[in-house]
Amino acid sequence: MKVTRALQPFLPLCQRLLPDLRTLPGILNLSSLPNLPGLPGLPGLPSRLAGLSLTLLKATALDLAILAGHLLLYPSGMAQERRAAARPALPRVAGADDPAQLPTKGPLPVVLLHGFIDNRSVFVLLRRSLAQHGRQRVESLNYSPLTCDIRTAAELLGRHIEEICERTGSSQVDVVGHSLGGLIARYYVQRLGGDGRVRTLVTLGTPHSGTRVAPLANAHPIVRQMRPGSELIEELSRPAQGCRTQFVSFWSDLDHLMDPLESACVDHPDLLVQNVRVTGIGHLALPVHPAVATGIRQALDTARTGASAGARTGSRAGTRTGTQTDGLTVA
């Protein structure tokens, strides 16, 4: 029974990768374990198990390497980053329009929002990738590790975005959120009117429908808010007609923190959504891997300011909902 309980958090991942698995000869007979339904027999097990083992080994090794590197960088991201100076006011010419009202040229500012018990140092490589491809206005927000409410963090994000818009002269921003950061940003967009400020929200391994992993962590209030059926998750499932933000959700089929795995997809009839399945890497690699960074850049570069016009009608025919799914395979 203890073995059964220990394996249960990994069952969604195993069922996703080996949907017809019932037995692992010489290792474990899953058919004899209670409360593990839906695991039929598996022809050709050795070759598939070898492929699975290699895939998991690569993903696990990469996550461990990323974790080690991130632990070294973590102290450098504990303080809030220095903000760029406000843009100097342009001299006013008689008869000319107010320069402050002129449209801002170039890509929109990008705001990066980290995950649970993390900080902005997780985005070092992504920031470099964005800057190398023309995204010079990239800023990160650190919310306190003592934050106990997603709504409070979303309000803080809103104030931060308003300050960025005032300082840069931009009317909108793009947001990239990893894990919990994506959920905070989504709450701001859907429930606090942030869709007027956020053109595109990219989420990386975010539990949009809640995750059941690590039940012992329920002592933390934010973890409870990330559970399926929580009051906050129910809020995000309510109607959101007229939401103008475009959503791009990257989710991994090797993400051990998502239970079920598809909880990292956005599934809402009123939202303009593109779900991108990432194959070959785990949760920690999503904000770091160069292939995902390329996908993020493409999502931001192809975003259209008026693309959400169809969402205002609330009609499924006029929107791209969770039915639009792309794939990204990481070797």
- Tens-digit pLDDT profile for residues 88-99: 433 433 443 443
Contact residues for 131 (Cβ-Cβ < 8 A; gap 6+)? 138
Q: Classify residue 284 as exposed, middle or buried by CB count within 10 Å of its CB (0-12, 13-18, 19+).
A: buried
| pLDDT class of 83 with cuts at 50, 70, 90 | low
Sheet bearing 138-141, strands edge to edge: 138-141, 110-113, 173-178, 198-204, 246-252, 272-279, 325-329
- For 315, left (φ over 0), alpha (ψ -120 to 50), or beta? beta
> Of 252, 214, 326, which is closest to residue 16 (Cα–Cα)?
252
**Which segment of 34-48, 64-78, 170-184, 187-201 scores lowest on mean pLDDT?**
34-48
Comparing 44 with 288, which gets the higher pLDDT?
288
Per-residue b/e over 309-321, b at no fewer than 16 CB within 10 Å?
eebeeeeeeebbb
Q: What is the pLDDT of residue 106?
A: 80
Q: What is the mean pLDDT of the segment spanning 133-144?
A: 90
Return the structure tokens found at 127: 């920031």
Distance CA 213, CA 259 (A): 6
For a pLDDT cut of 70, what percent of the chain falls above it?
A: 69
Q: In the predicted model, is pLDDT for residue 183 greater than 90?
A: yes
Q: In the predicted model, is pLDDT for residue 180 greater than 50?
A: yes
Distance CA 272, CA 308 (A): 7
Neighbours of 173 (CB within 10 A): 23
- pTM of the full structure: 0.75
Distance of CA 158 to the CA centre of its chain: 18
Helices (H), 123-194: 124-132, 150-168, 180-191
Q: What is the CA radius of gyration of the chain?
A: 21
Distance of CA 249 to the CA centre of its chain: 6
Contact (CB, 8 A) for 249 and 276: yes
Q: What is the mean pLDDT of the segment spanning 81-109?
A: 52
Q: In the predicted model, is pLDDT for residue 19 greater than 60?
A: no
**Which segment of 186-195, 209-218, 289-298 scores lowest on mean pLDDT?**
209-218
Amino acid of residue 8: Q
Angle, to 10 degrees, between the axis of helix 180-191 and the axis of helix 150-168? Answer: 70
Q: How does pLDDT run across 299-330, given as a tens digit for each residue? A: 999 875 444 444 333 333 333 444 467 888 77
Q: What is the pLDDT of residue 137?
A: 94
**Which segment of 23-27, 105-109, 119-123 scores lowest on mean pLDDT?**
23-27
